Amino acid sequence: MLRTPNSLLALAIPTYNRSAILHENLKEMLPEIREHSIAVYISDDSKDSATEQMVAELKMEYEFIFYRRNEPSNGHDKNFFATLALPDTDFVWYLGDSLYLRSGVIADVLAMANHDPDFIFVNSYAPELTDRTVAGAAFKDFLLNRAWYLTLSGATIYGRRPRSLHVAEERRKQWKNFPQLGLIFEFVSMFSASCVWIGKPSILFNKKKKSYWQRNALDVFVRDWAALVRSFPKLFSGVEADRIIRSHGINTGVFSLKWLITLRANGGLNASEIDALGKDFALASPISPWWAKVVCMAPPFLVRGLWMGAKAIKESIERFR
C-alpha cells in the first residue's frame, strides 16, 4: 500500500550553507515526522552541493523530503516567500535551518490545526506557557505582547489564507530581514484573524550554528526592526509601535551590556553607527546608549582578547565541575 504525505501539515525549511546542522536536525525530528507522514520541503540557497547530497541520502530513509536548489540564490527575504509557497497543505510550518522540534509537538500542532486558525504559534522561550486561542480584535493585543518573539523563524505555522495573500514587491521591501512577521502584520491589518498559541516550549536551537547577524546586528535589530513595525501605522499607533520596538531588546537581551561587548569584539559596534541610529537605538536597547559608547572606546582587538579570555576561563570552570 502506497503512503501519501499528510495533507494537513508540512515543514518548509529555507537553508544556506548549513548542511551538517540541517542533517542533525532532520535526523532528530525524523521519528515523529515519519510517524505522521509529514512532508519536508527544503529551499536551498547554498553555493555548493553539500545540502543537495545530504538530502539525497536522507531521502533513502524517508521518501517525503523534497528539495529545491535556488539558482541564483534568493537571499533571506525572497527565500521566505519561495519556501512558504512550496507545500500545498492546509498548514505550513516555516522552520529555520538551525532549529528542531521537541518530540510530541507535531501531534500537538495537528490537534490544534483541526480548529482551523489562520496561524499557529509555537513557543520556545517566551514566558507564556498556557495554550490559548486568540481571534478578532484580541489579536492586536496579542501582537503587542508577543511580536518580539515572533521574529523567531520557526515560531509560526501559516494557514492557507495568509499564504494566499498577495504582497507587492515594494511592500515586501519594507519588511527587510523580518518578512515572516511582516506577513502576519499585513494579514491582521486587513482581515479578522485567529490564532492558536501553544505555550509548552517546543522549539530547540542547534547550538553549533553561527549567527549571520553578528556583524550587522545594528542594521537588523534596530534599523530594520523599527522600519518593519513602523510600516504598519494603521495597525499600531506611534506609542504602540515604540512599545513593540522596545520589547524585543527587553525580552531577548539584544543590546544588553554583554551583547554590546560581544558585538564590539566581533567588529559589529561603533560609535558613529550608534549616533546615526539616534533615538531608534535608544528605543531598541534595554540599557542607555551611553554604555554602548563606553564599550566603543575600547579597540575591538582589546575587547576581543578580553572576551575570548573570559570565555576560555568559563569553559575551564565548567569542564572541571
CA gap 123, 205 in Å, rounded: 12
Q: Is residue 1 part of a domain?
A: no
Which of 142, 170, 205 is at the close of a domain? Answer: 205
Q: If residue 61 lies in a helix (H) or strand (E), which one and from where to where?
A: none
Q: Are 109 and 27 in a shared domain? A: yes
- Report the chain's C-alpha Rg in angstroms: 20
Selection from 21, 57, 62 nearest residue 38 by Cα: 62
CA gap 220, 224 in Å, rounded: 5
Note down the domain range covering 153. 9-205
Q: Is residue 210 part of a domain?
A: no
Q: Are 159 and 26 in a shared domain? A: yes
CA gap 222, 241 in Å, rounded: 13
Q: Are 66 and 125 in a shared domain? A: yes
CA gap 298, 260 in Å, rounded: 12
Q: What is the pTM of this model?
A: 0.91
CA gap 213, 153 in Å, rounded: 14
Q: Are 161 and 73 in a shared domain? A: yes
Q: If residue 174 lies in a helix (H) or strand (E), which one and from where to where?
A: none
Residue 211, pLDDT score: 63
Q: Which three cell numbers stand for residue 139?
A: 489579536
The residues pairing with 205 across neighbouring beta strands, listed in sequence order, are 99
Q: Are 139 and 284 in a shared domain? A: no
Q: Is residue 20 part of a domain?
A: yes
Residue 198, pLDDT score: 98
Residue 319, pLDDT score: 39
Contact at 8 Å (CB) between 175 and 181? yes
Indicate the number of domains in the chain: 2
Residue 313, pLDDT score: 41
Q: Which three cell numbers stand for residue 113?
A: 490545526
Q: Are 132 and 74 in a shared domain? A: yes
Which of 205, 237, 254 is at the close of a domain? Answer: 205
CATH of the domain at 53: 3.90.550.60
Q: If residue 317 lies in a helix (H) or strand (E), which one and from where to where?
A: helix 300-319
Cis upstream peptide for 289 (omega within 30°): no
CA gap 299, 111 in Å, rounded: 54
CA gap 313, 306 in Å, rounded: 11
Q: What's the burial of 290, exposed, middle or buried (CB within 10 Å: 0-12/13-18/19+)? A: exposed
Give every CB contact of residue 146 below 8 A, 6+ residues apart in sequence: 121, 126, 128, 197
Low-confidence residues in the chain, pLDDT < 50: 1, 313, 315-321
In one letter, which amino acid is 22? L
Q: Are 75 and 177 in a shared domain? A: yes
